[in-house]
Amino acid sequence: MKKILTVVSAVVFILGFGFTASAIHDIIPSESQIPEPGPNAEKLNEYIIKYDPYRAWELWPDKGRLYKGAAPHGALLTTFVNNAGYFSIKKKKGMADGSIIAKENYTADKKFVALSVMYKIKGYNPAGGDWFWVKYAPDGKVEAAGKVKGCIDCHAKMKDNDYIFTGKVK
Ligand code: HEC
Lowest-confidence region among 32-41, 82-91, 143-152: 32-41
Q: What is the mean pLDDT of residues 54-62?
A: 98
Percent of the chain with pLDDT over 70: 81
**Mean per-residue pLDDT over the chain, rounded:** 88
Closest CA to 66 of 80, 84, 56, 53: 80
- What distance in angstroms lies between residue 64's CA and the mean position of ligand 1's atoms? 17
Whole-angstrom Cα distance, residue 122 to residue 81?
Answer: 18
Q: Whose CA is nearest to atom 20 of ligand 1?
A: 165
Whole-angstrom Cα distance, residue 151 to residue 142?
Answer: 14
- What distance in angstroms lies between residue 14's CA and the mean position of ligand 1's atoms? 46
- The ligand 1 atom nearest the CA atom of 118: 29
Q: Whose CA is nearest to atom 6 of ligand 1?
A: 151
Q: What is the mean pLDDT of residues 24-33?
A: 53
- The predicted pLDDT at position 6 comes to 57
Asked if the model's pLDDT at residue 83 lies above 90, the reply is yes
Whole-angstrom Cα distance, residue 57 to residue 47?
Answer: 13
- What distance in angstroms lies between residue 62's CA and the mean position of ligand 1's atoms? 18
- What distance in angstroms lies between residue 158's CA and the mean position of ligand 1's atoms? 10
- The predicted pLDDT at position 9 comes to 58
Asked if the model's pLDDT at residue 84 lies above 60, the reply is yes
Each residue of 133-167: pLDDT tens digit? 999 999 999 999 999 999 999 999 999 999 999 99
Q: What is the mean pLDDT of residues 4-24?
A: 52
Exposure string over 59-68, b if 16+ CB within 10 A, otherwise e? ebeebeeeee
pLDDT range class, residue 22, cuts 50, 70, 90: very low
Q: Is there a contact between 65 and 75 (Cβ–Cβ < 8 Å)?
A: no
Asked if the model's pLDDT at residue 4 lies above 60, the reply is no
Cα-trace Rg, the chain:
20
Whole-angstrom Cα distance, residue 95 to residue 6?
Answer: 48
Q: What is the mean pLDDT of residues 56-78?
A: 96
Whole-angstrom Cα distance, residue 34 to residue 159?
Answer: 30
